[in-house]
Amino acid sequence: MPEPTRLDELPADARARLRKWPNPTWVSPMLATLTEESFSREGWLFEPKLDGERCLALRHGRAVDLFSRNQKRLNEKYPELVSALKMQKPSTFVLDGEIVAFDKGVTSFAKLQPRMQVQRPSEELRARVPVWFYAFDLLNAETYDTRQLPLRYRKDLLQSTIEFKDRLRFTEHRETEGEAYYREACKQGWEGIIAKNGDSVYVSARSRDWLKFKCINEQEFVIGGYTDPQGSRTDFGALLVGYYERGKLKYAGKVGTGYDSVTLRRLGKQLASIETKPCPFTTDALPSRGVHWVKPKLVAQIGFAEWTGAGKLRQPRFLGLRSDKSPEEVVREK
């Protein structure tokens, strides 16, 4: 008699949800909804909110593909993760997770930037900025679509299917005391936590079955312009950023901190290449002196203290560029 597979060990009602899916090539990711409410709701799972780059990892035979949330291939950026996934015993799977780098024990988007901005990292860069893949969901196993299984079953399958070692990590979760976990996360300096309905299926859309509780204010903004440098600053002074509201780019403020010399030089060249005369913002009260407008093609991750009553960012700081999100997707998180 053959050994039972992990799918065979599922309850009958769960196995009935499985469908054959032998060679998936892409899955649009499920997205969490921001909320100010934290809770300890029965039946929900609580995971750390990792501050990195979302990644879908697909394997079919010897082929492994890493994709960003907007389907950009990441294999050349993170070859060590491709190698680690090729070492796995299962020949077919789809994992959802996050690529991260650490700064003093905490995942850091800023720390990951040197890897995100380099297409083919040198051995020196790979050693200086090591990365890990933290998997938190399993969408395909043994050529079966697992997305219609309840999340708690997908997590169990994930943990038993993949051998988590070296660059691969399982995203641990708690099933109780969500509010205490949130307070602990904020104390540790994490970005926040994600609360997930343990009975939820996986949908390729934003959902209230996944909720994010943020400890710090941080989100994506579209770069619409920049100012001239002042004093000893080179290349540019501050970025002018905004977000889309009803299809129009709304101005959110100037971001003048968070840049090192390498970032100023690299980003300055990118801005100069997309400079344009028309202002991309549709709102009033824009800076007028020493301003250069750019085509709204670049997306930046910005940390900030809070939103002002006038809808502007207070104490914003540049964390890095994002290539995994298109400008048209960027809205104000509420």
Q: Do 164 and 309 share a structural domain?
A: no
Q: What is the helix (H) or strand (E) element at residue 285, kind and residue range?
A: none
CATH of the domain at 80: 3.30.470.30
Asked if residue 82 belongs to a domain, the reply is yes
Q: What are phi and psi of 299, to 5 degrees?
A: -115, 130
pTM: 0.88
Q: Do 325 and 228 share a structural domain?
A: yes
For the segment 87-102, the average pLDDT, to the nearest whole number, is: 97
- Tokens matching residue 247: 């299809």
Q: What are phi and psi of 70, to 5 degrees?
A: -105, 25
Torsion of CA 201, 202, 206, 207, to 10 degrees: 10
Q: Do 300 and 281 share a structural domain?
A: yes
Q: Do 165 and 75 share a structural domain?
A: yes
Q: Do 85 and 165 share a structural domain?
A: yes
Q: Do 44 and 181 share a structural domain?
A: yes
Of the residues 161, 194, 215, the one at which a domain ends: 215
pLDDT at 37: 82
Give tens-digit pLDDT for 219-276. Answer: 999 999 999 998 888 899 999 999 999 999 999 999 999 999 999 999 999 999 999 9
Q: Do 67 and 156 share a structural domain?
A: yes
For the segment 192-215, the average pLDDT, to the nearest whole number, is: 96
Q: For residue 82, what pLDDT band results from cuts at 50, 70 and 90?
A: very high
Q: How far apart are the first and last CA of the chain?
A: 55
Q: Do 120 and 75 share a structural domain?
A: yes
49 is catalytic: yes
Indicate if the pLDDT at residue 3 is higher than 90. Answer: no
Active-site residue (options: 20, 49, 104, 165): 49
Instruction: Quote the radius of gyration of the chain (alpha carbons, Å).
Output: 21
Q: Do 61 and 165 share a structural domain?
A: yes
Of the residues 184, 215, 246, the one at which a domain ends: 215
Q: Do 164 and 247 share a structural domain?
A: no
Asked if residue 22 belongs to a domain, the reply is no
Asked if residue 14 belongs to a domain, the reply is no
Asked if residue 15 belongs to a domain, the reply is no
CATH of the domain at 199: 3.30.1490.70
Asked if residue 312 belongs to a domain, the reply is yes
Strand partners, 54: 98
Asked if residue 77 belongs to a domain, the reply is yes
Give tens-digit pLDDT for 279-309. Answer: 999 977 898 889 999 999 999 999 998 999 8
Compute the distance between CA of residue 1 and CA of residue 19 in angstroms, rounded to an integer.
24
- Tokens matching residue 81: 């993760």
pLDDT mean across residues, the chain: 94
Strand partners, 31: 206
Asked if residue 87 belongs to a domain, the reply is yes
Domain that holds residue 180: 30-50+173-215
Neighbours of 124 (CB within 10 A): 8
Q: DSSP class of residue 252? A: E
Q: DSSP class of residue 327? A: G
Q: Do 180 and 72 share a structural domain?
A: no
Indicate if the pLDDT at residue 1 is higher than 50. Answer: no
Strand partners, 227: 291
Asked if residue 92 belongs to a domain, the reply is yes
Q: In which residue are the tokens 């003093």 written?
A: 104
Of the residues 151, 170, 189, the one at which a domain ends: 170
Q: Is the dihedral of CA 118, 121, 125, 126 positive or negative?
A: positive
Q: Do 322 and 253 share a structural domain?
A: yes
Report CA-CA distances (Å) from 103 to 6, 111, 130, 215, 329: 36, 6, 11, 17, 28
